[in-house]
Amino acid sequence: MRESASERMRIVVCATCAPDKGGEGGETFLRTLREAIDRDGLGDAVDLASADCMGACAEPVSLALQGEGRASYLFSGVSPMEDVADILATCREYLAAPGGWIVDARPCGRLRLCLKGRIPALPRD
């Protein structure tokens, strides 16, 4: 059975700042994340995408978490190859949190220190 939209999320990776991490970003980062997500059993709940620029150029690599009816998060200074486990932990917390609003970010590991913004979900009509 497929999850509803509110039980799904998307990770968006900045493709523009990826080369600043020695080629570890972009497609390689997305492939590494997809493999890790699938191994972790999150494949049915997590989609991946890339964006040309997410405006966090001073601290590459940036990524965002978003989901319908959920808060959105922007992270920068993410290490594509070293932070994968913390990204997965954050995805689990995000999916479990009502409205995606993570109250205690300690389980997110180092990724919580990379947080640049948390935006509440749009209210439903």
pLDDT on residue 3? 43
pLDDT on residue 36? 96
Q: Which residue has the higher pLDDT, 80 or 116?
A: 116
Mean confidence (pLDDT) of the chain:
88
| Tokens encoding 48 | 């991946």
Q: What distance in Å separates the CA atoms of residue 22 and residue 9, rounded to the nearest whole number?
A: 28
pLDDT on residue 8? 94
Write the CB contacts of 24 (distance below 8 Å, at least 6 apart in sequence).
18, 61, 79, 80, 81
pLDDT on residue 60? 87
| Tokens encoding 61 | 């690599």
Does residue 15 have a pLDDT over 80? yes
Local structure of 123: helix, strand or coil: coil
DSSP characters over 44-103: TTEEEEEES--S-TTS---EEEE-TTS-EEEE-S--TTTSHHHHHHHHHHHHHSGGG--S
Averaged pLDDT for residues 32-58: 93
- Could you give all domains of the chain from N- to C-terminal order, each with its CATH number? 5-119 (3.40.30.10)
Q: In terms of pTM, does the model score above 0.75?
A: yes
% of residues, the chain, pLDDT over 70: 88
Does residue 25 have a pLDDT over 70? no
Tell whether omega for the bond before 13 is within 30 degrees of 0, i.e. cis: no
